[in-house]
Amino acid sequence: MTEKFSKIALRMKSNIIRELLKVTSNPGMISFGGGVPDPDTFPRSEMAEISKEILEKEYKFTLQYGQTEGDPILREEYISLLNREYGIEGLNIDNLLVTVGSQSALDLVSKIFLDDDSIYFVSKPVYLGAASAFSLRSNGYVYMTLQEDGVDLDIVEDKLKEIETRGELDKVKFIYTISNFHNPGGVTMSYEKRKRLVEIAEKYDVLIVEDDPYGDLRYEGEAIDPIFKIGGQERVLLLRTFSKILSPGLRLGIVIGNKNIIRKMVMAKQASDLCTPSLTQRIAARYLQRHNLLAQIKPTIALYREKKDLMLTELDRNFGDMNGFYWTKPEGGLFIWFTLPEGFDTGEMLELGKAENILFVPGQAFSLDNTCQNSMRLSFCLPPKEDIIEGVKRLKKVIVEYGKEKKLL
Ligand SMILES: *Cc1c(COP(=O)(O)O)cnc(C)c1O
């Protein structure tokens, strides 16, 4: 039969990371590709204990449909966490929505804000998951170049001015930004830029969507106030998730924003999945009550810090004296963005990498216009230390081989 797919369905394409994951488990393969946390860091015995208890004693909640907005206990606990850890005040549970991971929140944001002529701002490189959620509904993205201290705000101002002159400011729906330890860029937006971003957004009356899955995974340096804290709930929609600090398998994301936006997202969510699983929400709620989540992740932070430092050392050892090779030095999160001289095509290099048993994500995967070819994303959190050393060595071999073949080195 002829499948009569919708226009949106026809725009969907399989993403390169998913393809990559298929060969990750090949014997001998070292992968810097996956963006997933180390499963040995998940507090499995604590979660097992809680699960058993809440399945037996709270089954009327945990095995039942729940409110679309989410488990009230989890939302209350999360409000205290935001208050305790970030000094965020003035929230009540109507400001929070629990989603099936932040990915679902990105999809809901796309649904409630974007028409096919809408304009939105994203970084270059862009987080793949956000790009796919947004670009299905509108191709009207505006790029903000990523710099060491966050996106280039001069571009944002210039573009907004230009759009205003065209009389199209109403079409600008939001500025999407990852404030801490950008995926894939590894960089963090400075406090000065956060403040200026809020000022710009206020001047042009645009919403900021702050995606912050990694803020709690800081390995060094001082924490910076969330944009949400600076701009407030009328200006900023904050997306948080348990995926990178507790467990991605729980599939729990939290959206924090003004009540009108949350209410609209609730309506959109009703059509998508009715509610986030009651069981995993209550596991997280009880976990937050009984354990200090951010204290519990300290060993994880120490482990990732060592791996991050090791990868930086190895990059320096292998590429430090090569011209035109540079990489970001993240203070947290899971990723290093590695840029090679012009002419290198990391997408083409992937096959060579597979042959040498080393995986990375080509930069192109993080672009909406097939650019970023000479960059790649490296993740240091999953491979054991000896694999980080060996993996960077293999990477060097692949790069040298490719560079010689193309007469780039
Ligand atoms: C991992 C990640 C997410 C969301 O993951 P979920 O598991 O869906 O919560 C969102 N944004 C960025 C930038 C991420 O890296």
pLDDT digit string, tens, across residues 255-301: 999 999 999 999 999 999 999 999 999 999 999 999 999 999 999 99
**278-290 and 72-86 helices, crossing angle to 10°:** 40
Question: What's the pLDDT at 235?
Answer: 98
Q: What are phi and psi of 352, to 5 degrees?
A: -60, -40
Question: What's the pLDDT at 23?
Answer: 83
Q: What is the DSSP letter of 288?
A: H
Question: Residue 82 in contact with residue 238, Cβ under 8 Å?
Answer: no
Question: Residue 102 in contact with residue 213, Cβ under 8 Å?
Answer: yes
Angle, alpha carbons 157-163-164 (nearest 5°): 85
E strands, 182-284, in order: 207-211, 236-241, 253-256
For residue 14, pLDDT beyond 90: no
Q: Which of 36, 97, 104, 127 to mutate to test ligand 1, by most ligand atoms within 8 A of the CB atom?
A: 127
Distance 61 CA to ligand 1 centre (A): 27
Does ligand 1 come within 6 angstroms of the Cβ of 367? Answer: no
Q: Which pairing describes strands 96-99 and 253-256: parallel, antiparallel, or unpaired?
A: antiparallel
Question: What's the pLDDT at 160?
Answer: 98
- Token pair in block for residue 28: 């001998």
Nearest-CA residue for ligand 1 atom 13 is: 183
Question: Residue 356 in contact with residue 29, Cβ under 8 Å?
Answer: no
Distance CA 170, CA 184 (A): 30
Q: How far apart are the first and last CA of the chain?
A: 52
Looking from the CA of residue 100, the nearest atom of ligand 1 is: 8
Question: What's the pLDDT at 19?
Answer: 72
Nearest-CA residue for ligand 1 atom 10 is: 102
Does ligand 1 come within 6 angstroms of the Cβ of 88? Answer: no
Does ligand 1 come within 6 angstroms of the Cβ of 186? Answer: no
Does ligand 1 come within 6 angstroms of the Cβ of 243? Answer: yes
Distance 286 CA to ligand 1 centre (A): 22
Does ligand 1 come within 6 angstroms of the Cβ of 127? Answer: yes
CA dihedral of 381, 345, 10, 7, whole degrees rounded to 10 = 100
Angle, alpha carbons 160-373-10 (nearest 5°): 70
Digit-coded pLDDT (tens) for 30-52: 999 988 888 888 999 999 999 99
Distance 205 CA to ligand 1 centre (A): 26
Whose tokens are 């299905």? That residue is 136
How many CB atoms are located within 10 Å of the residue 278 CB? 22
Q: Which pairing describes strands 172-178 and 119-124: parallel, antiparallel, or unpaired?
A: parallel
Distance 316 CA to ligand 1 centre (A): 29
Give the contacts of 86 (CB within 8 A, at least 6 positions apart).
225, 226, 229
**Nearest in space to 256 (alpha carbons), one of 208, 317, 203:** 208
- Token pair in block for residue 260: 């009108």
Whose tokens are 């950008």? That residue is 182
Digit-coded pLDDT (tens) for 156-168: 999 999 999 999 9
Distance 92 CA to ligand 1 centre (A): 24
Question: What's the pLDDT at 38?
Answer: 86
Average pLDDT estimate for 224-233: 98
Whether residue 383 is preceded by a cis peptide bond, meaning omega within 30 degrees of 0, is no
Does ligand 1 come within 6 angstroms of the Cβ of 248? Answer: yes
Digit-coded pLDDT (tens) for 341-351: 999 999 999 99
Nearest-CA residue for ligand 1 atom 2 is: 213
Give the contacts of 67 (CB within 8 A, at least 6 positions apart).
275
Nearest-CA residue for ligand 1 atom 14 is: 213
Average pLDDT estimate for 4-13: 88
Does ligand 1 come within 6 angstroms of the Cβ of 102? Answer: yes
E strands, 16-139, in order: 30-31, 96-99, 119-124
Does ligand 1 come within 6 angstroms of the Cβ of 31? Answer: no
Work out the mean pLDDT of the chain and round it to a whole number. Answer: 96
Q: Which pairing describes strands 358-359 and 30-31: parallel, antiparallel, or unpaired?
A: parallel
